[in-house]
Amino acid sequence: MSGREVDGGDLAAQDSALATGPDYAIDVQGLSKSFGTNQVVHNLSMRVRRGQIYGFLGPNGSGKTTTIRMLCGLLTPDEGHGTCLGMDILTQGRAIRRHVGYMTQKFSLYADLSVRENLEFIARIYGVPDAEAAAAEAIVALGLEGRERQLAGDLSGGWKQRLALGACILPKPQLLLLDEPTAGVDPKARREFWAQIHDLAAEGVTVLVSTHYMDEAERCHEIAYIAYGELLAQGTVDEVVAGSALHMWRVTGPDPAALARELMEVPGIELVAPFGTSVHVGGRDRAALERAVASFAAREELVWRPDSPSLEDVFIDLINRSRDNFR
């Protein structure tokens, strides 16, 4: 906990500030954080509008969790400043956390308590009035009926995540920080989880969610892509794709893996990404890319089609280029 932490004691004043607060649930500038000599977040600025679902993407170790922890005052940035729910992240961490639900990557409920016991326990810790009723309400809202008496430790991955989300929203937070909430969860459970997230956003809750799944990125109102601690792209999915300025072709042929290796060496081709039986080929210089494609004209076994960049193409391109910059 930061030595500068002050707990803005007047809860009524805070609540009224929250109700009339700024348009942005998160508004931070120039955040940097190092662990020893390793700078894991560098000069990161971001703004998230209230009621939005904001996706946070990037490779492993790129600084997403560290950023989330700075946003709710669990870590103090070395540089930078900003607000979360209108409160200062440097000095009002404790007050921020009273209004934020933070779902960490690790399942942190009690494995040997039942679903209902876990929810009632959390409700009591947060001082929710009538903990039993609040837990019962959460059980219905999350579709956990019939599982109330099951031990949390015996739930499948998808149900565990749903219970963890239930615990997060019991105190009715204004902002949810969800750190890879669906890692390892099957597609049906992920879809249901996302339906819950959209319901919460429709009620005015702001959601910042980190994920490695492209389909989840496409369910967000806005996304940010972070690599090596740098924010490389930000905006709606369409804006991020358009901002890449990538031109793409898709080529299908008998041995996509060998073809991909060959294509990587061709001037004008900056991005090569095998996708099933075909290979996505891209570059920012349209003329150079077209010359590269034309050089394969005699290869009748290959079928070339112009294509549009997918979000995954854009992220692969961003990570390739940022890796070059950071070497």
- For ligand ATP, what does the binding mask look like between residues 66 and 105, x meaning CB under 6 A? x---------------------------------------
Q: E-assigned strands of the chain?
A: 24-35, 38-49, 53-57, 79-84, 87-88, 100-103, 175-179, 206-210, 222-227, 230-235, 247-252, 271-275, 278-283, 303-307
Question: Quick one: 20 or 60, whose CB is closer to ligand ATP?
Answer: 60
Nearest distance, CB of residue 224 and ligand ATP, angstroms: 12
Question: Quick one: 48 or 70, whose CB is closer to ligand ATP?
Answer: 70
Nearest distance, CB of residue 149 and ligand ATP, angstroms: 33
Nearest distance, CB of residue 122 and ligand ATP, angstroms: 24
Please count the residues of this chain forming the interface with ligand ATP, following the rule CB under 6 A: 10
Q: For residue 272, what are the CA distances in angstroms to 60, 116, 147, 248?
A: 21, 50, 47, 10
Nearest distance, CB of residue 186 and ligand ATP, angstroms: 20
Nearest distance, CB of residue 277 and ligand ATP, angstroms: 29
Neighbours of 19 (CB within 10 A): 8
Give SS3 for 212: coil
User: Using an 8 Å Cβ cutoff, are 276 and 253 in contact?
Assistant: no
Beta pairing class for 175-179 and 100-103: parallel
Q: Contacts with ligand ATP in 7-66 (CB under 6 A)?
A: 35, 40, 58, 60-66
Question: Quick one: 59 or 256, whose CB is closer to ligand ATP?
Answer: 59
Catalog residues that contact ligand ATP under the rule CB under 6 A. 35, 40, 58, 60-66
